[in-house]
Amino acid sequence: MPFDPVILWTDALIYLLVIIVVSFAWHVRNDEHLLAPWRRVTHSASGMSALTVLFFFVTIGLLDTAHFRLALDHKNSQGETVYSVEVLSLLDVLVTPLRNNVEKTYSAPLATHLYSKETIDLPDGSRIRTFARLEFGGAHLQNPEIEHQADIQWRILIGIGYGLIFWGFLVASLCLILARRCQQNFLQCLNTIWRRKTEVPWHAILITLAIILSLIGATYMLATNYHVLGTDKVGQDVLYQSLKSIRIALIIGTLTTLIMLPFALLLGIMAGYFRGWIDDVIQYTYTTLNSIPSVLLIAAAVLMMQVYIETHPELFETIAARADLRLLFLCIILGITSWTGLCRLLRGETLKLREMEYIQAAHAFGVSHWRIITRHILPNVMHIVLIATVMDFSGLVLAEAVLSYVGVGVDPSMISFGTMINAARLEMAREPMVWWALMSAFGFMLTLVLSANLFADAVQNALDPRVQTLTHKYKILRRSQKNSLTPSKQANTLNHSTNRPKRDS
Amino acid sequence: MSELLEIDNLETILHTGDAPVHAVDGLSLTISKGETFALLGESGCGKSMTALSIMRLLPDVGEILAGSIKINGQDLLQLPETNMRTIRGKHISMIFQEPMLSLNPVLTIAEQINEVLTRHFNLTSEACQKRIVELLDQVGIPDASRRMHDYSFQFSGGMKQRAMIAMALAGEPQLLIADEPTTALDVTIQAQVLELMRQIQQRNHMAILLITHDLGVVSEMAQRIAVMYAGEIVELATRENFFANPAHPYSKQLFASLPEKQKRDQPLAVISGNVPSLTQTFVGCRFADRCDHAMERCHQLPPQWETMVTGHQVRCHLYSNSETQRASHQSTQLRLGLEENTQAEVISSSTNTTLLKVDNLKVHFPIRRGLFKRVVGQVKAVDGLSLTIHSGKTLALVGESGCGKTTVGKSILQLISPTEGSVRFKNQELIGLEREALRQMRSEFQFVFQDPYSSLNPRMRIIEILSEGMDALNVTATHEPDHKKNPTAFPREKAIDALLQQVGLPLETKWRYPHEFSGGQRQRIAIARALAVNPKLLICDEPTSALDISVQAQILNLLNSLQNNLGLAFLFITHNIAVVEYLADDIAVMYLGRIVERGQIDEVTSNPKHPYTQALLSAVPHINQKEEKNVIRLKGDMPSPAKPPSGCHFHPRCPHVMSACKESYPQPSTFSSTHTTHCFLYTQEHHSSDHEH
């Protein structure tokens, strides 16, 4: 075999997560009544654009999750294949030039020369201090000063062109599929999409796709010969670092939540539902946990873990396995320290819900506690869970950055947004400033978190049957032409959609 | 009389959803100075939107399209917002339905009234304080100079509504808009507030626009009445004309669907269908689809105003023809409700076995204070209560809010564990039963809750809601005991179909979510859920108090037919005396955790013995009453159950209080085998059993 698959701990958990998501999707697909609210998700333009963006992020994350070790050329004494100690991912292979084209030190995005002057020995023996040419960035140019601008513009145009051609191909195939499904001809179908008449906002999805694909095209054309986002202190390509960081961000955002959720859900709902001494115990636990500075707790745990790893090198085959275990442990410790906020929210909501009459009705039927919790309370707190999870996502990605700053974050051999931001601390203090590493970390994180937020918003709107009736109220008003008659209105919280009389209890 | 308020052709729409809702559609009315004008209608017909349009306080989505609203000849719709602020409070002021929500909890009452005074008058701060005391005195708040510095949560419900009225009066308005001012209050408090409004009106010569759905309140207060239906006024009359001779079929139907003593043993008339959606454009008469007299013309032409007699106008095609036709139509009988109910066979009227016996039930909630949560007192929600329900009969438990009615219901079901006493169901003691043993019994008694909006889980479909009880208690189809062994999915779904049919809902509704239903439909679902496990006893906690009159009639008919067909027994917990008189066989009157009087319904309602029962019955506003009614007005509010008065709980408010009342709780006095009361006015029974009351 030319490679040896490696499944790291976090990989296994991600595969598990994927399996859960896929089987859930399968379950929903087969149930018409469960499917209906999810169909409503696909009707939100912002949600679907966000999903398109997320799709690319998740694809990169998944590509980076498929790890393996390549076989080396020589065999060992028993004739078995020997595999490299370096663990690679599919992403690494796909972007090999980015990984391998390492410069000496900092270079600005799309630059042909280094960012700082250095002393160069000329062939005639003399020395000059100048900006040295890059080893890979713009190496194909004979005369960078003249050709540089034109070359970049040309490549961008070609890249966008490629992107748009591919996009056109996608549009055409989409139209063909839709046309076949709706028994229309191709042009009619294109027309309905263009005039935004479709139920699923294809126009929004296609516009997002057009932007992303032309960006990818341009980047692809440039990346073969330039460092699109510059290089860092040791000359590594920042674009490559950013791409690698996506997986870490996704892992910290999702796995931590996955670890935290059972604690928060179970304990929060139990505290609110059972009251009494159970409530007291849970409350004291999270109040105590909350009053310990979380950074301190995490630092202590991670340092202990670090010592353990260093004293047991025999447990880890590769550096990647070691770094990965540390990442997993970081997720766990972040999860254990961050469940308190959600737990408190859920306890409060459950306290409110348990007095609702439908819970009382369930009690009157002798429904078991477990069933009441899972069938009545859990679905009614899911919106809080969803919001808290997404809000935490960005917070956790940032927490990782903070921890890396303290030195207890991910393994130094791992590239993450945290380590990039941490490195930027010194880069920003330099003169002239190195801004691109921070900018690209910022850009990628912003896109990721924003699209996750927008998508979660759409999901929440579609899944909450009560919100469904409320959203109509907030539609933008059409102003009447009779403005002279229109009295100014004051905000009034009168709820007239459910115009019911409230009478005494 | 000169006109104070003239509304001409008012059109208000709400931009909600896909199509605008025509909440008010071409409404015209006039109110004279010093007059009480009642706007009567069911929920969703645009009453409140009319009021808010007059105040120009519409919600953001609302918009006045056309019309004019003139007060003293000045068109409010042409005024800029700054001028409008001098109108609000000074010329027109408004009191709202929920006194609890209309007062700001972080400001004292004085501060809130002061806000109005500083806005509209140039008063010094001393004059302001004086005026506030004066206002609070006027609305009958005792010890006003001290109480004015209290916060709203220190006031009771009735006091809050009084404070609200004082605030509305602060600007000395010419018109007071009262939007369901007493709906959230108890009958005895309602009587106090209505009396107060009448006094103030006479004293200040102020006009009142009273918005309500309660025919009783209208008959007590109003001079002129407008009946509103689907955004427009359909009938306009003086009180005498309206109550003597309601003209519009809708008004007639409303009267017919009121539960009354005389209508016992017959189903109430129901208005078929629902209030039409106001998003559509109407071609003919808006009521045509639900009207029993609907003619061809009703569906094609909107009816015009027809004058019956002076001051009595109606918008109906029935009256546009000659006199003879009118007479013939008026004599036509109103169609009586659900057909199938009339021939309902009576199964269990003869059986008179005791189903449930509650003896000396006590539910005390400890009040805990301090660091170690020491028990510093007890809220005695239920304090030594005994009652008996026979199978197939209805016992009504009547009392004001806060007297512990609901707690009784819940503690019978063991949702709240009682402190003391015994609850025996079919001679099986329920108190102290293990959870699992109790679960076996649970299918025998079920609960129907008050608020149909919070009693159904919004995230479960109807089929899931209905099958939950069956799953939990392992019961299968209602009338198919042979399926008991194989509870497969198929008979389960069949059973649910049968249930939905039983409560009169279409079968396809089982796939929907609760929010897609109206209040009445939700209450039907709640009843179906309780019926799913074939109970023998249904405890109904104010099942109709959140519903409109016509919907209430539907639910009462449903309950009646269920009792006849299935032989159910009901414990009917309510504060609505009219419903009790219509539905109940026995009645128990509850005051502050204890039953003060009980007996058969006729005995108690025609000859109430306990002063509280007398006051309660007299406070109920009745339609077609004689001119002079002797309403016994109770002083103050119900005391807190945490500190009940010594002796007879009722003595601080009792008009016949004696010294003995303050010392010990009276023993029962018996008038017939069923009718007993606890009062010192009557001869005391000295039986040996010494209940520690």
Q: Of the candidates A366, A468, A482, which has its C-beta nearest B65's C-beta?
A: A482
Confidence of residue B18 (pLDDT cuts 50, 70, 90): low
Task: Please compute the mean of the pLDDT values over residues A372-388 and round it to a whole number.
Answer: 85
Q: Of the candidates A380, A498, A502, which has its C-beta nearest B459's C-beta?
A: A380
CA-based nearest distance A194→chain B, Å: 23
DSSP B322-353: -HHHHHHHHHSPPPPS-HHHHTPPP-SSS---
Residues of B in contact with A485 (CB under 8 A): 64-66, 77
Mapped onto helix, strand or coil, the DSSP state of residue A259 is: helix
Q: Tell me what pLDDT residue A165 has.
A: 95
Confidence of residue A480 (pLDDT cuts 50, 70, 90): very low
> Which residues neighbour A406 within 8 Å (Cβ) at sequence distance 6 or greater?
A295, A299
Q: List phi, psi (to 5°) of B680.
A: -75, -10
Q: Tell me what pLDDT residue B689 has.
A: 43
With beta carbons less than 8 A apart as the criterion, state whether B404 and B592 touch.
yes
Task: Answer whether A375 touches B (CB < 8 Å).
Answer: yes
What whole-number percentage of chain A has pLDDT above 70?
Answer: 91
Q: Tell me what pLDDT residue B176 has.
A: 92
Sign of the C-alpha dihedral computed for residues B632, B638, B644 and B645 taken in this order: negative
CA-based nearest distance A493→chain B, Å: 7
Q: Is pLDDT at A110 greater than 90 in this prediction?
A: no
Q: Tell me what pLDDT residue A191 has.
A: 83
Q: Tell me what pLDDT residue B490 has.
A: 62
Interface test with B, best of A482, A494, A499, A503 (most B CBs within 10 A): A503
With beta carbons less than 8 A apart as the criterion, state whether B444 and B437 touch.
no
Q: Residue B457 and residue A358: Cβ atoms within 8 Å?
A: yes
A44-63 tens-digit pLDDT: 889 999 999 999 999 999 99
Locate the chain B residue with the closest alpha carbon to A356.
Answer: B454
With beta carbons less than 8 A apart as the criterion, state whether A200 and A52 touch.
no
B318-354 tens-digit pLDDT: 887 644 444 444 444 444 444 444 444 444 444 568 8
Q: Is pLDDT at B686 greater than 60 in this prediction?
A: no
Q: Tell me what pLDDT residue A1 has.
A: 67
Task: Answer whether A36 touches B (CB < 8 Å).
Answer: no
The closest of A467, A472, A280, A326 to B14, measured between CA atoms, is A472
> Which residues neighbour A222 within 8 Å (Cβ) at sequence distance 6 or greater?
A110, A152, A155, A156, A159, A228
Q: Tell me what pLDDT residue B383 has.
A: 86
Task: Please compute the mean of the pLDDT values over residues B246-272 and round it to a whole number.
Answer: 84
Locate the chain A residue with the closest alpha carbon to B514.
Answer: A465
Residues of A in contact with B15 (CB under 8 A): 475, 477-478
Task: Answer whether A486 touches B (CB < 8 Å).
Answer: yes
CA-based nearest distance A166→chain B, Å: 38
A263-288 tens-digit pLDDT: 899 999 999 999 889 999 999 999 99
Confidence of residue B629 (pLDDT cuts 50, 70, 90): low
Q: Of the candidates B98, B410, B468, which has its C-beta nearest A362's C-beta?
A: B468
Task: Please compute the mean of the pLDDT values over residues A290-308 and round it to a whole number.
Answer: 86
Residues of B in contact with A505 (CB under 8 A): 401, 406, 450, 542, 545
Q: Is pLDDT at B190 greater than 60 in this prediction?
A: yes
Confidence of residue B73 (pLDDT cuts 50, 70, 90): confident
Q: Residue A365 and residue B62: Cβ atoms within 8 Å?
A: no
Task: Answer whether A122 touches B (CB < 8 Å).
Answer: no
Task: Answer whether A374 touches B (CB < 8 Å).
Answer: no
Confidence of residue B17 (pLDDT cuts 50, 70, 90): low
Lowest mean pLDDT among A18-27, B152-161, B444-453: B152-161
Interface test with A, best of B400, B446, B457, B516 (most A CBs within 10 A): B457
Task: Please compute the mean of the pLDDT values over residues B52-58 and round it to a whole number.
Answer: 89
Confidence of residue A15 (pLDDT cuts 50, 70, 90): very high
Locate the chain A residue with the closest alpha carbon to B440.
Answer: A366
Q: What share of chain B is helix, strand, coil (3-state, %, to 5)?
A: 35, 25, 40
Task: Please compute the mean of the pLDDT values over residues B459-464 and round it to a whole number.
Answer: 86
Q: Is pLDDT at A252 greater than 60 in this prediction?
A: yes
Q: Tell me what pLDDT residue A349 has.
A: 92
Task: Please compute the mean of the pLDDT values over residues A314-339 and round it to a whole number.
Answer: 86
Q: Is pLDDT at A254 greater than 60 in this prediction?
A: yes
Q: Tell me what pLDDT residue B626 has.
A: 54
Q: Residue B65 and residue A485: Cβ atoms within 8 Å?
A: yes
Confidence of residue A467 (pLDDT cuts 50, 70, 90): low
CA-based nearest distance A465→chain B, Å: 7
Locate the chain A residue with the closest alpha carbon to B413.
Answer: A364
Q: Tell me what pLDDT residue B692 has.
A: 41
With beta carbons less than 8 A apart as the criterion, state whether B170 and B91 touch.
no
- Other Cβ atoms less than 10 A from the Cβ of A435: the count is 16
Q: Tell me what pLDDT residue A489 has.
A: 38
Residues of A in contact with B515 (CB under 8 A): 465-466, 468-469
Task: Please compute the mean of the pLDDT values over residues A379-396 and round it to a whole number.
Answer: 79
Q: Residue A357 and residue B449: Cβ atoms within 8 Å?
A: yes
